[in-house]
Every structure is written in structure tokens, then in C-alpha cells.
Structure 1
Amino acid sequence: MKILITAATMAAVATTATAHYGMIIPSDNMVSQEDGRSIDLTLSFSHPFEGIGMVLDRPETFAVTHGGETTDLLGDLQDTQVMDHAGFSTEYRLERPGTYVFSMTPQPYWEPEEDAFITHYTKTYVSAYGDDEGWDAELGLKTEIVPLSKPFALWEGNLFQGIVKLDGEAVPYAEVEVEYYNEDGTAAAPSDLMITQTIKADADGVFSYAVPAAGWWGFAALNTAEEPMQHEGEDKAHELGAVIWVHFEPWSAE
């Protein structure tokens, strides 16, 4: 009986679903004159808390929006390894003050465990030279989280709020998954249930989350596309994720 219980437990652990995240992580999200004029950006697809990488194929789009103008950066991406899997990196020069919004539309990813395709429309915000104009910029992506809290210059413990949109409309009671980028592997969860926190937006599509620790946090609002995708001649669900990465600074009273 003991052997049977142990095997069942191992099987349950092996099939536990964890969240996938598209990721855009800049080397700095609040750039001052003293920091220099360029940042490095890394694009990946992963389980960020567990440090488990996945292959990111070359995205369909990668761009930056500043002052209402969007610039295509797809041709600037260089192959790299992130969490031992294929990802991309680039260096970007910040020419003017203001907020820069970097966004990626990846190719749909087939996930056998979920029997579905996944597309994560991913973005992050960078402030340059003390100017926060444009921090609430909405890009008009298929689905996105529009920040209601400034998505930089946040302390750990601050409440982050955003509104989930799909085709430009707020999504009532959207489900939002929240996960910490455990970059150095030092964070530990007392239960697998706490690796990915799950919250729901209200009737207006607005969600709130109080971040407990400094670092990068990913918020992914999940919806299912009306049109399925074909896999081996069969219709399969297509998960649309609106992902935003936000950095929180360590609190210091000094």
C-alpha cells in the first residue's frame, strides 16, 4: 500500500500544471543620465518562479512605443540562451526622455499538457531620464493589461492595479495569474499552490495585487480566443494571455 500511495503522489506532482509566461526583462526600468543611454533586453518563454525555461521561437513582432510612435525592433533581436533554452536579446538606445513600452507578440505555442495553443502578448515599461510621461500607454494589442498604477517607481508592498482588455474592451472577472521571477533561485514556496497566485478582476476588468517582495513580477490575464486553431487536423483552444512585467524596488527607510 505504501508503494502505491507514493507512486500516486509522484504522478500527481508530475502532472501539476504551472503557469507559462512570455517575458521581456530590461537591464534597467528607470534609466537616469548617470546610467548611460542604452539598456539590454532579454526575451524568453518560461516558468519564471521555478526557473524552467522553454523554447521561444522568433516572435511575430517585437517593437517599442514612445511618444505615440511605434518602432519595429524585430530585426535587432539576437539569439541567446535563457534558462538553458532558446530566447533573444537586444540592446536599445534611449534617445529621449519619457516612457518606452516594449512589446512582443510570439508565435502561437502548442502545449500538449493543456491540449491548446498559447499566445502571450507581452510588454514592459521603461522610464528614461526622470520623465514618466506615457506610463499608462495603451498599445491596442489583441489583449493587454493597461496599468492603472505606474508600472515603475514602485516599492515592494505597493498595490499594483491594471485593467484587462481584449479587442479593446474591458474583460469582466478576467482571471489573472501572478508570478515572481525567481532569478537567483533563492525564493521558496511552502506549497506548489503558491508558485502562481491567481486573482480575478472585478466587473470592470480591474484587478489589484499587493506585491510582497522586491524584484520582477509578471501578471498574465488569460482569455480564450473565439476562433480555435488547427493541430493535426483537429480544432484546439487558443489561450490569449495579456502579460505585463513590472519591477518593484526594495523598501529602505534610510
Structure 2
Amino acid sequence: MIPPLLSRTILATTLSVIFALPAAAHFQEIIPSADVLPEGGDVTLDLVFTHPFEGGPTMAMKRPVEVGILANGTKTNLTDKLVEQSDKGAVTWRVSYNLPEPGAAIFYVTPQPYWEPAENKYIVHYAKVIVDSFASGEGWDEMVGLPVEIQPLTRPTGLWTGNLFSGVVTKAGKPVPFAEIEVEYVNDSGIKAPNDAYITQVLKADVNGTFNYVMPASGWWGFAALVEGDKPMKSPDGKEVPVEEGALIWIHTSPMGK
């Protein structure tokens, strides 16, 4: 039998470890090989469900419900062009496409719901990224029409490091007041966070659903506006659980003068 004092010590230590663990932010990546194609041409996009700043773990991703492109007012379904990949043993996806005409190509993904047992909920992150073909600077603010979606107010291509990005969080086409937005950096450069508080930046939109963020490092940045879905889903054990819907947009910045 464990002595009472030792038992209390073990319990306190266990609880301190549990509460010290950070809540890992999940991000649905849809990262293109370039955000601007000065002469048009081919672009390849990698679809990975992961924790960007920490470089993992990568969650296994079922074949998406839909992957598509909105360009010049026309949607094209690219789901049949998906190629299964692997990252650290987890299933990921890749798609390639040719952009022969000028204008913004808005690539988007509707993933299958992901069951997160640690949070007792399903996660569905509708993600998009804009690729500017022929550096046209046009069409970047078109909306795909996703259930939840970020409308950019700043052109999301051709940005310098340190530029401010602004957007509006929408649900069913209407702004979401005071929506919470998580921001993470795809940490390919090996930046060390002083502590866990720096890994995921958090901000809130204003009453009009508008938010602003200055990106301090070069590379890819993900903005995930999180809202609760209207309808619960059944968990693997048959219980009704909430659904986290995420509106994601990916933005690239480049250093000035290099």
C-alpha cells in the first residue's frame, strides 16, 4: 500500500505533467511549390495535416472529400489527380496543376473529418492558398464558397517579410464577430521558441470578423479561424461530439533585398 504522503506526491506530479502539456494546434496544410509563377506553368501542392511550427507529428490524412481550384471564376475539381504520399509514416497527398493563363488560382481542400480523441471532437479544416499565375495581381479576393472561409483584405501573394496581413473570417458567407484565429509558421528554418507560448500565436477578430497580423519571419504562415460546427457528429463509440470547423489560408513572405 502506498503511504498517503507519497500518494499525494505522485498525484501532484502527474497533474503537473498533464497540465504542463501544451494543446497542440492542428493545421491542414495546402502548400504550393511557389506562391507566384512569373511565367505561369506547373505548380505542385502538398496536403499535410500536422503541427507546422514543431514539424509534426503528422496525422494520417484520409483521401480528401474534394480538392479543387477556382480560377477566372471557374471551379475545377482536382480530386482525381491526387497522389498519395507519406510523411513520417503518415498518409499525405500531393496534386499538380498547370496554370497557362494569368490570374489568381485559388486552390482549396475539403478534408474528411478527423477524430481527435484527446479533445473529444472532430476537426474539419477547410484550407486554401492562392497562387498568382504570371504575377498578375488579379483575382486574389475571390471567395471559394467554403462553409467557413477567410476573405483576404491584403493581397496574399508577393508579400515581404514584416508585411501586415488582414482578413475577414466568414461562415456561410457572413462575417464571424470575435472569431478566434490561430497562427503558425512552417518552421523549416529551425527557429527555436523561447517556450511553448510562442509556438501558436492567438488573436481574435473584431466585431466585423476582421483580423490583422504582422508576419515576422520569411516563409509560409497559416491562419486558422476556428468556429464550432452547427451539427455534432457521432464519435467512434457512438456518442454525439462537437465539430471544430477551421477556415484556413496560407500566406508566404519573402525577405526584402535578397
Structure 1 match to 2:28:
22
Query: TM-score w.r.t. structure 2 length?
Result: 0.92
2:62 & 2:100 partners in 1: Cα distance? 29
Question: Which residue of structure 2 aligns with residue 65 of structure 1?
Answer: 70
Indicate conservation of the 8 Å contact 1:48/1:180, yes or no. Answer: yes
Q: Which runs of 5+ in 2 are unaligned?
A: 1-5
Q: 1:146 aligned to 143, 151, 155, which one?
A: 151
Q: CA deviation at 1:8?
A: 4.8
> Partner amino acid for 2:91?
A
Structure 2 letter corresponding to 1:41: L
Corresponding position of 2:91: 86
CA RMSD, Structure 1 to Structure 2 (Å): 1.6
Aligned match of 1:134: 139
Q: Which of 31, 37, 40 is the matching residue for 1:31?
A: 37
- 1:80-229 matches, cutoff 5 A: 80-184=85-189, 186-229=190-233
The TM-score normalised by the length of structure 1 is 0.93
Whether the aligned pair in 2 keeps the contact of 1:179 and 1:197 (CA below 8 Å) is yes
Specify the alignment match of 1:42 in structure 2.
46
Residue pair 1:142, 1:167 contacting (<8 A) in 2 also: yes
**SS of structure 1 residue aligned to 2:242:** strand
Paired AA for residue 65 in structure 1: L
| Aligned residue in 1 for 2:3 | none
Matched, 1:77 2:86: no
Compared CA separation, residues 137 and 165, structure 1 to 2 (3 A): same
In 2, Cα distance between the equivalents of 1:23 and 1:131? 24
Matched with 1:245 is 250
Q: State the shift of 1:37 in Å.
A: 1.2
How far 1:10 sits from its partner (Å)?
3.6
For residue 102 of structure 1, give the secondary structure of its aligned residue in structure 2: strand
State how far apart, in whole Å, the 2-side matches of 1:230 and 1:103 are: 26
Any runs of at least 4 consecutive aligned residues in structure 1 with deviations exceeding 3 A, and if so which?
Answer: 3-13
Separation (CA, whole Å) in 1 of partners of 2:89 and 2:162: 32
**Structure (1 or 2) with the larger CA radius of gyration:** 2
Distance 2:88 2:184 in 1: 16
- In 2, are the aligned partners of 1:51 and 1:83 still within 8 Å (CA)? no
Structure 1 195/8 Cα, relative in aligned 2: closer, same or farther at 3 Å? same
Identity %: 42
Counterpart Cα distance in 2 of 1:145 and 1:83 = 30
Structure 1: which 5+ runs fail to align? Answer: none
Q: Given the alignment of the two structures, is residue 11 of structure 1 paired with residue 15 of structure 2, yes or no?
A: no
